[in-house]
Structure 1
Amino acid sequence: MRVSEIFVSFQGEGREQGKRCTFLRLAGCNLTCRWCDTPDTQDAAGGRERSADAILDEIRSLGVRRICITGGEPLLQADELLPLLRVLAGEGYKVDIETNGTVPFGPVLPWAAVCMDIKCPSSGEESDTSLLPLIRPVDTVKFVVADQQDLDYAAKILREHPIAGEVIISPVHGADYHAIAEEIIGWNHEIRLQLQLHKQIGMR
């Protein structure tokens, strides 16, 4: 697997926000989002090749039982990732996978929860909303929003697609948080407004 880095930090977003977490960040992405936190991971030839055994040994040595697999787009390496997920799940790790919603994630669902980041217009990219029926109550759908156009798009998706998992509205760092909050407080949908904690505290 092409690995960008493995490290421990606080989970900055999603259901597990604020909890200690081991991050396995894989290299390579099929999108170039305007709001990408980690543009250096977009190159599939980046990072370094590591075996599943070496990855597992490092994860175990860090001693944190919560794992977030991110990227890049980690599901581009799904074939190599699946055996690792089976071992982690078998050893009792709680695993979350962050995905940009362009790669089918059905194969990983027995072993991990998914956070599907639906790309809004300001990102310059687009997710595959036909994947939304795969979302379960343990999964999460996230909209990173910068402006009213993004909010209108998110509202449209929520009207057109029943979503079983938790829905998060995450303002772009530095956006008008108050205006976004004022807009979504009246939405007829169960949502969570969430600022990116890792950016607030200056950690990766």
Structure 2
Amino acid sequence: MRVTETFVSLQGEGERQGMPCFFLRLSGCNLRCAWCDTEYSFEKGTDRSVDELVKEIADSGLSYVCVTGGEPLLQKEELIPLLEILAAADIHVDIETNGTIPFDDVSAYASICMDVKCPSSGEMSDLSLLSALTENDCVKFVIGDEADYLYMVEVLAAHKPKAPVCITPVFGTDTKWLVETIIAERLPVRFQLQLHKVVNVQ
């Protein structure tokens, strides 16, 4: 696998926000979101074997792994053997994906966090994939402005995903209006700030 980096930190987003986690960031992405904060993952990265990664994860002492990118499902064929080993070892895995590549063949081994791309990102996810999500997965919307918010409301109304929904404002933007709107409209969503940036960890 082509790996950009591995590290241990707190999970900053999603259903397991705040939990200590081993992060595996794979290289390469098929999108170029306007506010991407991991552009360095677009580069080639370093070749790592499954055995090397399994040992590093075991040495971390953690039973929670987040596979992110870039877009990790671009390396799905190489990733599946690692996921099989981690599942057999009772290590929980989250896969963060931009929702452009089907994930049915990895969902047996991991929870999926599908980041639905809103208009301000300049990109678009495959919304048909929302129907494949379960209660064990997560849907994330990164909101930059009112147009993004209205898009999210339309998507949720049209697709009614089974997975819990997390809303994160683009880091550094005003959040007051978003919080007030969520409360006023009684949206069944979880508002989150990017915890890792708030507490200044990786």
TM-score between the two structures when normalised by the length of structure 2: 0.98
1:76 aligned residue: 74
Which residue number corresponds to residue 167 of structure 1? Answer: 165
Secondary structure at 2:114 match in 1: strand
Provide, for residues 137-192 of structure 1, a one-character-per-residue CA deviation record: whole Å limited to 9, x for no partner. 01000000011010010001011011101001111111111111111223354100
CA RMSD of aligned residues (A): 0.9
Cα distance in structure 1, aligned partners of 2:97 and 2:61: 25
Q: Which amino acid aligns with 1:63?
A: G
Equivalent residues, number: 202
Matched with 1:14 is 14
| Distance apart, 1:201 and its partner CA | 1.0
State yes or no: 1:34 paired with 2:40.
no
Determine the C-alpha separation between the residues in 1 that align with 2:184 and 2:120: 22
Equivalence map 1:1-204=2 (5 Å)? 1-43=1-43, 46-204=44-202
Q: Which runs of 5+ in 1 are unaligned?
A: none
Moved over 4 A (4+): none
Structure 2 counterpart SS, 1:22: strand
- Structure 2, unmatched stretches of 5+, are none
- Taking the aligned partners of 2:87 and 2:195, their CA distance within structure 1 comes to 26
Contact 1:32–1:42 (CA under 8 A) maintained in structure 2:
no
What is the TM-score when the length of structure 1 is the normalising length? 0.97
Alpha-carbon distance in 1 for matches of 2:56, 2:185 = 44
Letter in 1 for 2:106: V
CA distance in 1 between counterparts of 2:93 and 2:156 reads: 26
Is the partner of 2:185 in helix, strand or coil?
coil
Task: Quote the Cα distance in structure 1 between the aligned partners of 2:120 and 2:42.
Answer: 19
Query: Aligned letter for 1:35?
Result: W
How far apart in 2 are the matches of 1:38 and 1:16? 20
User: CA separation in 2, counterparts of 1:142 and 1:181?
Assistant: 16
CA-CA distance at 1:52 after TM superposition: 0.6
